[in-house]
Every structure is written in C-alpha cells, then in structure tokens.
Amino acid sequence: MNLMEYQGKELFRRVGIPVPRSQHCKTADDVAAFVEKNPGNWVVKAQVLMGGRGKAGKIKFAKNADEARAVTTDILATPMPPNRQNPNGEPINAVLVEETLDIALEAYCAIAIDRTTKKPVVMVSKFGGMDIEEVSEKHPESIAKHFIDVAVGYSPFIGRELAFASELDPGFRKQFPAIVAGIYDLFFKYGAKLVEINPLALTKDGRVIASDAKIELDDDALYKNPEFKDWQAVLPLDEDEALAAAAGLGIRNFRRFPGDVGTMANGAGLAMGTMDAVKNAGGEIANFLDVGGGANAERVRKCYELVVNHTPAKVFFVNIFGGITRGDEVAKGIVQAMKETTSRKIPLVIRLTGTNEKEGREILAAAGMTPVETMDEGAKRAVELASA
Amino acid sequence: MNLMEYQGKELFRRVGIPVPRSQHCKTADDVAAFVEKNPGNWVVKAQVLMGGRGKAGKIKFAKNADEARAVTTDILATPMPPNRQNPNGEPINAVLVEETLDIALEAYCAIAIDRTTKKPVVMVSKFGGMDIEEVSEKHPESIAKHFIDVAVGYSPFIGRELAFASELDPGFRKQFPAIVAGIYDLFFKYGAKLVEINPLALTKDGRVIASDAKIELDDDALYKNPEFKDWQAVLPLDEDEALAAAAGLGIRNFRRFPGDVGTMANGAGLAMGTMDAVKNAGGEIANFLDVGGGANAERVRKCYELVVNHTPAKVFFVNIFGGITRGDEVAKGIVQAMKETTSRKIPLVIRLTGTNEKEGREILAAAGMTPVETMDEGAKRAVELASA
Amino acid sequence: MSIFLDKNSKVIVQGITGGEGSYHTSRMLAYGTNIVGGVTPGKGGQKTEHGLPVFDTVKNAVNATGATHTVIFVPPPFAADALYEAHEAGITFAVCITEGVPVHDMLKVVATTHGMRIIGPNCPGLISPGRSSVGIMPGHVFKEGNVGLISRSGTLTYEVVDLLTRAGFGQSTCVGIGGDPIIGTTFVDCLREFKNDPQTDAVVVCGEIGGSDEEDAAAFIKAHMPEMPIVAFIGGRNAPPGKSLGHAGAIISGTFGTPQSKINAFKAAGVPVADRPSEIPALLGERLAVRV
Amino acid sequence: MSIFLDKNSKVIVQGITGGEGSYHTSRMLAYGTNIVGGVTPGKGGQKTEHGLPVFDTVKNAVNATGATHTVIFVPPPFAADALYEAHEAGITFAVCITEGVPVHDMLKVVATTHGMRIIGPNCPGLISPGRSSVGIMPGHVFKEGNVGLISRSGTLTYEVVDLLTRAGFGQSTCVGIGGDPIIGTTFVDCLREFKNDPQTDAVVVCGEIGGSDEEDAAAFIKAHMPEMPIVAFIGGRNAPPGKSLGHAGAIISGTFGTPQSKINAFKAAGVPVADRPSEIPALLGERLAVRV
C-alpha cells in the first residue's frame, strides 16, 4: 500500500523526522482560512498517488488567502492527467498546504529491502530533488549504500558513514544520523517496504527537513497497525485494482490487457505462464487473473463475471494445477458457477490437473465439460475459439 | 536503582501487564477519601524498598473508609524495622491502596541477566507468593528457565514453552505469553536488570494479574529515560549511600564497618584488596571507599572528610595504583586536600604507584609525606598507627 | 541421493490439527514421508486423526521423536514465531508453507536463525520423488530420476514437473523456493546442493521476472557448475509491469529484474532458456546428450 | 608469542582526539604499540598531536591502514555504537575501556558481533610486555616473560603484576577482562588462548566475588589444562555483601558467587588460591617447580 504525502509525513512526525509545518485540507475555503490565520508563504500540493504533480500543475504557491483559494480551486478542478495504469487519471480530493522552505541544498535518502543480501538497505545521495533513477544514471558513484544487519538494527555510525561516504554537505551531518534512525524506526515499526525522502532539504538557516515523503507499506503487515485500515480507505485504487477488490480478489491479482482471450489460473506463476502460453499460441490476452487458493463456486463465478463483464474476452481459459488447491473443489466451483451466473455466456476452456485431478475431471464430465490435457493445448484451443 | 512497588506497577501498566486497580497516597486522609469514593475491599501497602512488609505489619486490609484511615495511620506511624543495611529502618512516606484480589493460584515469573550465557533469562515457577530462594531449595525442579537470544528478542513460543515446562495451571496459559512479552519489553525498553512478578495471580474469575512488582533498573541506563531522575528522587538511600552521594561519590563506592582503619583506593578491586590487606595485617577496617578515576584535590578532600567525620577511623590508608588515574594528580590532590581540610587530622599512610608514580612521589616528598612501597607494608603501617 | 531430505528424515508438522495441516499431513503420509508427530499448543498428549502424537511445543516434539525437519502450516501472524520455535528446538530444516508472512518478520528470521535451512515462506515445499514429500506438492505428477528442479512459483512448478515426467525425465529433488521478496533458500543455495548430489545429473531452474535471484544463479552456474546440464525458464515474460517497489527498488537491483536481463545472464552462463515450459524437456535432452 | 596481540598488530584508537584517548595514545605509542591512526567523526584528514592520521569512520581507517585492532575511548552512550562500527568495518579485536556502558547495550553487542573479540567494557585493556599495550595499563610495572595473567579488576591487576615482576616472573600477556556483568571475553576465553600459547608456561587468575566466571574457569582448567601451573586469587573476600541483583540473581547462579564457592572450585581443579596478592609469586614458584 502506497501512502499519500500527508500520510507519509504523519509517520515522519511520529518517528521524529522533521517535516515542514502543514495542514491537510479538502476544500479551497479550508485552505484560504488556514492561510488567513497563518500568514506567510505557502505551497499547495495535490494529494495523489500518481507521480508528476509538478509537471501537471498540481503544486502551486500562494502568498495570501486569496491566492491560496485560487490555486487550490485550480488544483482541485481537474484530476491528474491519465497514464497507462490510470487511463482516467486520478481524482484529487485533498491538498496539503505547507510552509515553503528556504532551501540551500537537497539530498536523497531512502530505505528499501534488498532481496539478494536479504537486508534493509539505506541509500543516500547528495543529489536530491531529482528522480533517483536519473541520479543513478548520471551520478552512480554518488549513491552511498549501507546494508543493515537487522539483528543489530540501526546504530548511529550507519548515519555517519553514509553522510561521509556520500559526501553530504557538512551542514547535513549533525542531524543526519537522526534522520536515518527515523526512517529505520518507521520502516520496522510500521512494516514499510520503502521509505523515501526526496528531497531531504537543508534550509538556509541550517535545518534538515523532509520536504517530501514516499512510503510503501507491506500489505501483509497492515494487521499489526489497525489504524492503517482507515488510511487505506482514502487511497484511490486504479480501475483494475478496484474491480479486483470488488470481486473479492487481492488488488494485485487482476489486470486487463487489450486482447480477447480471458484467463484465470491458480498462482501468480501459473497465471503468468498462462498468459505466456496464449501469446505463444498467437493469441492476445484479455487479462491476468490469479484466483489464488481455495477456488470455490462463489469465487469462480465472480472471476468469470469479472472477465466477461469487464473485458472484451470471447473465451475464458481456466488453467488449474492443483497443489494446495484441490481439483474436485475447483471443478465443483466451475460447474456451480456456470449454473448460477446471470452474465452472458462465453465458451470455457478448462485445464485441470494436480491434486484430486481424477475426481475433478469426473465432476466436469458429469456436467458435460471436457477438460483439455495440457496448458499449451488449452491455450491453442482458447485462441481458436476466440478467433472463431 | 530499585523501584518501589507503585513505580514498578506503573511500568507494568505501560507495557500492558495487568495490575490491580490502585491509588498511590501519602496520607491516611487521602486513603480514606479514595476508599470512600470507591467502595470495596482494599489492601493498604507501605511503599518501601526493604523487604518483609507483611511480617512488619505494613500490609493491612480495609473494608471501608474508616478502617482504611485507621490502618494507614498505623502503617505510617513507625518506620520499617531496622536490618543490617538500614540500622535506622526505613521511613514510610506513602502507601499503595489496592483492590484485593480473589486469588485462585499464585505463580512466579521473573527476568534477569545471566552472566554465564550473557543472555536475559526468564524464570517461571508454579510456586508463587513465597520467596523464590525457598522455592529454589524446596522445589528446584519446578523452576523453568528460558535464555533469550536478544538478536531475536521475545517471541510468543517462549511464553508457551515456559508455561508448559513449569506446568503452570491451564488457567494461566492463554494470558501468560503476553505477560512474558510485557516483562521482556519492560526489561529492554527501560534498561532493567531484574523484573520480578511474585506472585503472579490467577484470580477465581480467570484473570492473570501481577500482584507485586519488583524492578531493578540499570543505573548506567537511567540517562535514556530522563523521567527516572524524578523517580529516583523519591527513593530512600541507606545511610552509607546518602553519605557517598553527599561526598560526590557513586552510592555503591562507600560502605562503613566497625573498625578503626580508614581506607581509600582507586578501583573497586583494589579497594576490596586494601580491605583484605588490612584484615590480613590484623586490623579492622572502618570503611570501603573506591575513589574512582580522576582523584583531584576536591575529591580527595571530600573522601578524607567523609572517613574522618563519619567513621571512628584513627588512620587513613590511601592506596593508589595508577592506570587511568595519574600518580602526580593524586599526589597533588592529597597535598592540597590536607592543606584545605578543616576537619580533625588523623595520620595518613600513602601507597602510590603506577602511572606517573615518580612524579607523584616527588610531590608527596616535597610536602613532607613519605609514601610506603607496597600494599602489605601500607596495611601493616596503618594497623600499627591505629593501635598506637 | 537427494538434497535436503531423504526417506529417513523425521518430519513434524507445526499446526497439524488445523484444516490445511491435517489434510496435507494425510497426503504426505500417503506419499511415504516419515512424519513422526505434530505440534499444536494445548493439545499435547493427544493423537491426530492419522494416529500421530501431538505435542505442546516443538521442543517436546524434538525431544520425543528426534525430528530434524518441520513443515509449518500456521496463519501469517504466527509464522515467524513458529520458525523461531523450530530453530531453538534444534530443527535444522524448515518448510514454511504460509502465504502472507510480513516481509519484516522474514528479514529478522533469516538474520537470526543460523544453522536452520528455511524453504519459503509462501512456497509449496519440496519433494524427493519416491522418498519423501514435505509440503503441498501433488505427489502423483513426480517420478524418481536424476533431474533436479528449483522454482520460485508453485503451480508453475507442477506444470514443469508434469512435462518432465511425461517426457521420461524423473526428478531427484524438486524445490519450490517461494516467491516472496525475502525467502530462506535461494536458487544458489539449491544449486550448491545439487552440485554435490550424486543422483542429480541435470537441473531445471524455473525463474520469474523481478528480483535478481536468477542473475545470481546464472553467475553461480558459470563459476561453479559449468559442466552440469542446466536448462532455465523465465515465467511472466508477457506479464504486466505492475506496481513495483518504487524507484529505490530499481536502483538496488540496477538493470536486473527484467526478463531480458535474466535470459541474457543465463545465456552468458551457457544455460539455454526455454521460451515456454513445454520446450524444457527437449532442451534438457539436448544438454544431457551433449554431455554424454 | 603472546595472546590476542603482538608487535605487528595494527591498532586504531576510537575517540583519539578526546582527552583520555589522546593521553593514552601517547602512552601506548611510548610503549611501542603499533598505533596506525584514530577515528573522530568530522576530523577526518587531520593529524593528531602524535602525528597520526585521523579518520571520520572506522571503515575509512581500516581501508587506509589495514588495522585489525581497536581501542575505544568514548563516553558510555556511544560505546555500543563504536563497537558495532568496528565490527562492521572488519575489526577483529576491540578493547572497550569505557566505564558505565548500559548492560543492555552489551547484551546486544555480544549477541551480534560474531567474529570480533571484545575485551571489556570497563576494563584496563591488555598488554603483551615488550610487544604492545592496548589500553590504559601502566606499562612500566610489566616485564616480558612466561606468565599469563587474567583479571576482572583494573588496579588490582597492576598490584599483582608489580608483585610478579618484583619476584622475577615476567609476563606473556596480561588481560584485564573488566568487572561488568556482561563482558566480551571471560576467563575461559583467555585460558583457552593461554593453553595454546607456546610462550605461556603458567597462568595467574585474579577473580573477584560475584558471578560465576571463576567457577567456570576452574571447571575449564580441570577439564582442559590440568598440566598448566595455575595460581588463583579471589579479591573481596572481606567485602561487604552489598546490594545484590536480588533474589533472582541467586537462583541463576545457584550457590555460586561467594568467595568460598570460588575457592572450593579452584581447589577442586588443583589450583592453589592465594590468601593475599603477595602470596601469588611464591605459589607460582612452587607450581612451576613441581612441573619441572
């Protein structure tokens, strides 16, 4: 789960990472009222998950209440412009009004999980404020990394070493170890997979402040902090995620593509393999769908309807290889789902093997469905049916 | 630093260990007012560091406000009876009024530091409410221990294993892992050297509650929790500790004995060795005194005056072996201290060797003091002077 | 021979009285796995429906049975605890089936359970055909033989095994290492074992997009196993880019993680990469023929 | 030979520009210790008053000098951090002089700095007479020879060494292991080294009341070093009982910790126990004579 900037900064506050003074507002009137009460130079920032707010004109400055009202109205007037994952853009429901900082220098600081060393890695660069991918291309030597031994955890030398190794300006140094301590604390306490401060600002009066906040929380750890359920509620899902959630699937278990072969498989690996097989058979897939374990009738019906109603699929290729998922249950699910669905009917191609395969095939046969033998055969058949 | 029961229970509350409902009160009127407002069965417990409250009549029950006033007045009337370390007993300045529990069973649970394995050890016994030393004698097999890997920390299986291994009544089991989690949390978060719950009560209505709290905090870690400075302020020092503190020494650096040979050495090991040497020379020591490092004039003068004014010492044996402590500084300190002191004069026997020994001896010589060569020689000389 | 387990490996099941635990215990027993008992706190002293003894703690189970292997069927919030308990009780090999274990739990587990090999989490376990199955793999598609298999995916593994078996290639050991970001045992860990296993004459590596385990595996093969016939497959070559770890993730792994990076790495190590699972048996046959 | 360090051991000083660090660096240099630099964050690139290079981090110091040993003079709140930094930089031997390090800091340090030997904290360090001194011991009382010495006390160590030297017994290595509840290196760790050190023909163990390190040492001697001439001394035999760890402490160590327990343990291991430091040289002479 990716957090919005204002949520990220709230977590920064809790772990003692300095952030600019700010107010989260939902209307232009609220923004104007806040600026009226707190005179000064403010910046109004759209609260969205999509990147590119600056380029999209969704970050604007204001020196008084009238300006604040005007720029907020402007920001809220239109959604973020569309991109591939968000073909309708992203609605803007709130802004963050924040003090403008008199910035001397901008650095970059992040913590993430490194799969190879199986450790959290802290990354620091003296080039902040630009996309870190750009820094990595232009100044790869500028990125200092430290892989943390989680048995020890954070210790201040890590911050010191990173500051020296990345040649951070001495102005950062004194406060920097506490910043790294903060992101490590946040990372573990709240189960984050990524915490990024970009830019980490050094102000002209010598303060080190997190000017932006990008945090990805581990969905599997959300249960440890029940309040995050509320935080999640305000986060927008993209359209595929919203459809997946409505069908009772994990939000990452469904994604649409422009083809006409609908697919469903159990396990992300097999679901990807099914897509590959359809491509290899000369077809174009309509969707990726991992039904997960426990494919009962209700679940199968919902998946079928999701594909039939929300993609242009002409055929539904069901590819099940049973391990923890039992073939007889899946078969029962398919038969019952097809009985119960009220959606339009498209042909099914079923490949069912693995645990309780025999029982499953018997159930399908009894319902007049003949499963194919292999994935490639199924893909070929599905592509044929789609082109028919 | 040992905490009083009410302080310990405050820490229990913070880490989620259930404790009885209670109120900390300083007067009988406060107790009576509290009981008036909260009808029920209450127990009034003197808040002191000394053990043996029950036997001393300092734990009493009350069923109404009048009884509560009466028993509190009685408890506050006299100090705790004296023991060896507290020849004047311990004053009672406050009580804890606490709900009485309807107890079904009492267990024992503690965490401490094991020097040999270099790990925290959790100890559990189903025999609670009695002195654990007694349990250890009578039912040694009943004490289950778990040595915790601090790189991992607490994990619930530890509580489960201990509950099963100590054959705790099943009534404890469900809540027990959270109790152990709590004491481990407290142990690390607040830098405790010992956390003991005795008894850990199982009430007749199935609640598991810490009925008493015994906590020793690591003096070296107090700086991490500044509030403990305030907590420390209300804790009584025994007389030797109070004298040591007044002289600017650590409270464990000074202790009196009934003899007439005053001593001072640098380092606890040498201070103990000095005592041994005096004993071996046939003398009786007046005190143990570890002056620590950096024995400057002010420090030496205060130590001298501490011994001269508060013990019946007839001689002051100064035994310095310089490592981190430099002989010349100590010598200067001794010379200046003897010039500045306004207390009565007793003969000094000085043994000074180690780092900057030569310079130190020259300074002493210039002041007309002739140091002895060895510790045994110094002890012999001191004993002779004391008997003279 | 086989890697990680053999017919005599004594296995316990943590969570044996739960639905999944009980079901898969039956299946493992049917396969011939030497399951010696299970653990469910509070049910110590009882017998399972399979007639196996239940213990309150792993320590008790190990003391009573001499178990060295465990397979864990517990809900995600309790998986790390189960692994710590197994480690402290002296278990040396643990398979964690559980899906959805917080990644931070695993970061700490892998950093602190030295001396215990962990397969998973979020994995189907492993099987040494004809000897033992520890996990949830469907035993009937496997066949004893001389091909080792390592896979990040669950169901895709069965797919590949099925193809191998049908093509006449039996397996020495098949390991589903799991697809989570932090797993106990990587491709390289398994390759090292296969290298030293006299029964294993060839290896199939089933990778996936993302991460850099495949690149590490290719580098290991190049350096340490150039003679071993090995075939690779990369799943998800047509997969959506999806929501990544974010920018920082890209920096850690550099250009790694893309299908092309993985394919290039394997090719540079002399390892042919199948375009689809059904090509694997033929490529394997070629490699084994070259060797002979 | 000597244990833990020799003339060539490259030593850095953490906290070299502080008062104590600077003073004792001078003394160690005067003794002949091969100090190659020091660490003070923010002063990297400077030179100390002794002409040694200062580095911002231990890693930089190790990279530039090849140091393997460190001696730490930093205030108590920073001692654990200094030890972690040394460990991560590849230092294999650390002496921590600092007094007052929180015991929980040390619990975690000893549990996580595998591969680095730590002496202390709250210790005077060690000295291999004629070769190197790492710490704060007064070098002039030591003399090169064949007696190893281990002590929990600081100043009492010098006392004993002084007596040994005056009696003609030179020392191979003298280690002050520190008196804190949790220390990096125990009597047994040192005895194991002395057992394998060809220069060490005899050992003096200076214990103290409290804990059970002495009992452990006696058991080790009995089991592994029965032939080595060893003499023990227990300080604080007339010490006040003091405020103990509380009841729980007594249970952990059982009846251990009392002077009598320690004396009995040594006697059971065939190790004579001196009643006072000045008896040590004579007892050592007897033990060495028996051996010859």
Domain match, D168 and D271 both: yes
* pLDDT for the residue numbered D179: 85
Tokens (6 digits) for A310? 């929300």
Domain match, C108 and C163 both: no
Domain match, D290 and D175 both: yes
- A221/C27 CB distance under 8 A: no
Residue A118: list chain C partners with CB under 8 A: 107, 110-111, 182
d(Cα C44, Cα C37) in Å, to the nearest integer?
Answer: 11
Angle at the Cα of B159 (from B158 to B165), degrees rounded to 5? 85
- Whether the pLDDT of residue A309 is over 70: the answer is yes
Q: Is A209 helix (H, G, I), strand (E, B) or coil?
A: strand
Q: Is A259 helix (H, G, I), strand (E, B) or coil?
A: coil
Residue C131 lies in a domain: no
Q: Active-site residues of A: which are they?
A: 108, 196
Residue C289 sits in a domain whose CATH number is 3.40.50.261
The reply to whether omega before B312 is within 30° of 0 (cis) is: no
User: Residue B16's CB: how many other CB atoms inside 10 A?
Assistant: 12
What total of structural domains would you count in chain C?
Answer: 2
Residues pairing with D72 in the sheet:
D14, D96
What is chain D's alpha carbon radius of gyration, rounded to the nearest angstrom?
Answer: 19
Residue D79 lies in a domain: yes
Domain match, D204 and D275 both: yes
The reply to whether omega before B199 is within 30° of 0 (cis) is: yes
* pLDDT confidence band for D252 (50 / 70 / 90): very low
* pLDDT for the residue numbered D190: 97
Cross-sheet strand order for the sheet of B95-99: B22-25, B95-99, B42-46, B59-62
d(Cα B124, Cα C279) in Å, to the nearest integer?
Answer: 61
Cross-sheet strand order for the sheet of C35-39: C54-55, C35-39, C11-14, C69-72, C93-96, C117-119
**Who contacts B290 (Cβ-Cβ below 8 Å, separation ≥6)?**
B249, B250, B253, B254, B265, B266, B267, B268, B270, B271
d(Cα C69, Cα C90) in Å, to the nearest integer?
Answer: 10
Tokens (6 digits) for D185? 């290196």
- Which is catalytic among the residues B6, B108, B154, B184? B108
Residue D39 sits in a domain whose CATH number is 3.40.50.720
* pLDDT for the residue numbered D250: 42
- D112/A151 CB distance under 8 A: yes
d(Cα C278, Cα A379) in Å, to the nearest integer?
Answer: 12
- D246/B112 CB distance under 8 A: yes
Contact call for residues C196 and C222 (beta carbons, < 8 A) = no
The 10s digit of each residue's pLDDT in C200-249 is 999 999 998 878 889 999 999 999 999 999 999 998 777 655 443 333 44
The CATH number for A239-387, chosen from 3.20.20.70, 3.90.10.10, 3.60.21.10, 3.40.50.261, is: 3.40.50.261
| H or E segment to which residue D108 belongs | helix D103-112
Q: Pick from C122, C157, C190: which residue ends a domain?
A: C122
Identity (one letter) of the amino acid at C83?
L
Residue A270: list chain C partners with CB under 8 A: 153-156, 159
How does DSSP classify residue A27? S
* pLDDT for the residue numbered A294: 65
Contact call for residues D13 and D73 (beta carbons, < 8 A) = yes
* pLDDT for the residue numbered A357: 85
d(Cα B314, Cα B261) in Å, to the nearest integer?
Answer: 6
Contact call for residues D281 and D167 (beta carbons, < 8 A) = yes
Query: For D65-75, what is the mean pLDDT?
Result: 98
Tokens (6 digits) for D126? 């060690």
DSSP string, C246-276: -HHHHHHHTTTTSHHHHHHHHHHTT--EESS
Q: How far apart are the first and last CA of chain A?
A: 41
Contact call for residues A245 and A37 (beta carbons, < 8 A) = no
Neighbouring C-alpha atoms within 13 Å toward the C-beta of A298: 4
Domain match, D144 and D170 both: yes
Residues pairing with A203 in the sheet:
A103
* pLDDT for the residue numbered A257: 87
* pLDDT for the residue numbered A324: 67
* Residue tagged 């209440």 (tokens): A65
Please enumerate residues of C whose Cβ is less than 8 A from a Cβ of B.
41-42, 44, 56-60, 78, 80-82, 84-85, 88, 108, 111-112
Domain match, C92 and C168 both: no
**Residue in A155, A170, A173 closest to D84 by CB:** A155
Q: Pick from D87, D122, D157: which residue ends a domain?
A: D122
Residue D182 lies in a domain: yes
Q: Give the least confident one: A314-323, B106-115, C52-61, C267-276.
A: A314-323
How does DSSP classify residue B235? S
Tokens (6 digits) for C17? 């009285």
d(Cα D218, Cα A196) in Å, to the nearest integer?
Answer: 55
Same fold yes or no, B1-20+102-236 and B239-387: no
- Which is catalytic among the residues D24, D50, D87, D247? D247
* pLDDT for the residue numbered C239: 63
| Cα torsion through D72, D76, D81, D86, rounded to 10 | 10
- Whether the pLDDT of residue A203 is over 90: the answer is yes
Average pLDDT, chain A: 92
Residue C110 lies in a domain: yes
Domain match, D144 and D286 both: yes
Domain match, D112 and D207 both: no
Tokens (6 digits) for D173? 């290595």
In a mutational test of the B interface, the residue from D112, D216, D251 whose CB has the highest number of chain B CBs within 10 Å is D251
Residue C6 lies in a domain: yes
Residue B152: list chain C partners with CB under 8 A: 84, 108, 112
d(Cα B352, Cα B337) in Å, to the nearest integer?
Answer: 16
User: Residue C46's CB: how many other CB atoms inside 10 A?
Assistant: 13
**Who contacts A346 (Cβ-Cβ below 8 Å, separation ≥6)?**
A262, A308, A313, A314, A315, A316
d(Cα A267, Cα B217) in Å, to the nearest integer?
Answer: 52
d(Cα A108, Cα A249) in Å, to the nearest integer?
Answer: 36
Residue C127 lies in a domain: no
Domain parsing of chain A, residue ranges: 1-20+102-236, 21-100, 239-387
Tokens (6 digits) for C73? 């069927």
Query: For D35-43, what is the mean pLDDT?
Result: 97
d(Cα D211, Cα D262) in Å, to the nearest integer?
Answer: 10
Q: Which residue has the higher pLDDT, B197 or A294?
A: B197
CATH no. of B1-20+102-236: 3.30.470.20
Among the listed residues B207, B230, B221, the one whose alpha carbon sits nearest the alpha carbon of residue B105: B207
Tokens (6 digits) for C192? 């090292």
- C58/B157 CB distance under 8 A: yes
Contact call for residues A125 and A135 (beta carbons, < 8 A) = yes
How does DSSP classify residue C67? -
**Residue in B152, B157, B170 closest to C112 by CB:** B152
* pLDDT for the residue numbered A233: 85
d(Cα D17, Cα D46) in Å, to the nearest integer?
Answer: 10
Query: For A169-174, what is the mean pLDDT?
Result: 95
Global pTM reads: 0.92
What is the number of residues in chain B? 388
- D88/A149 CB distance under 8 A: yes
Contact call for residues D231 and D271 (beta carbons, < 8 A) = yes
d(Cα D217, Cα A86) in Å, to the nearest integer?
Answer: 70
Q: Which domain range does residue C270 map to?
A: 138-292
How does DSSP classify residue A109? E
Q: Is A283 helix (H, G, I), strand (E, B) or coil?
A: coil
* pLDDT for the residue numbered A123: 95
Residue C86 lies in a domain: yes
Please identify, in words, the CATH class of the domain defined by A21-100. Answer: alpha beta
Domain match, C111 and C166 both: no
Domain match, D286 and D146 both: yes
* pLDDT for the residue numbered C161: 94
- Whether the pLDDT of residue C18 is over 70: the answer is yes
User: Residue B140's CB: how many other CB atoms inside 10 A?
Assistant: 11
* pLDDT confidence band for C253 (50 / 70 / 90): very low
Tokens (6 digits) for A216? 């990805």
Contact call for residues B266 and B290 (beta carbons, < 8 A) = yes
Residues pairing with B216 in the sheet:
B2, B194
d(Cα C179, Cα C134) in Å, to the nearest integer?
Answer: 18
Q: Is the dihedral of CA A64, A66, A68, A74 positive or negative?
A: negative
Residue C108: list chain B partners with CB under 8 A: 152
Per-residue pLDDT tens digits of chain B, which is 388 residues long: 999 999 999 999 999 999 999 999 999 999 999 999 999 999 999 999 988 898 999 999 999 999 999 999 999 999 999 887 677 889 999 999 999 999 999 999 999 999 889 999 999 999 998 888 888 888 888 999 999 999 999 999 999 999 999 999 999 999 999 999 999 999 999 999 999 999 999 999 999 999 999 999 999 999 999 999 999 888 888 888 889 999 998 888 898 888 999 999 988 888 888 988 999 999 999 999 998 866 777 888 899 999 999 999 999 999 998 766 778 888 998 998 889 888 889 999 999 988 788 899 999 999 988 899 889 999 999 999 999 8
Residue spans of beta strands (DSSP E) within D4-143: 11-14, 35-39, 54-55, 69-72, 93-96, 117-119, 125-128, 132-135
Query: For D45-56, what is the mean pLDDT?
Result: 97
* pLDDT confidence band for D291 (50 / 70 / 90): low
Q: Pick from C122, C155, C174: which residue ends a domain?
A: C122
CA C92 to chain centre: 15
- Whether the pLDDT of residue D249 is over 60: the answer is no
Residue C128 lies in a domain: no
Q: Is C231 helix (H, G, I), strand (E, B) or coil?
A: strand
- A188/C104 CB distance under 8 A: yes
CA C253 to chain centre: 23
- Whether the pLDDT of residue C152 is over 50: the answer is yes
For residue B321, CA distances in Å to B183, B332, D4 come to 42, 15, 25
- Interface partners of chain A (CB pairs < 8 Å, 3 or more) are B, C, D
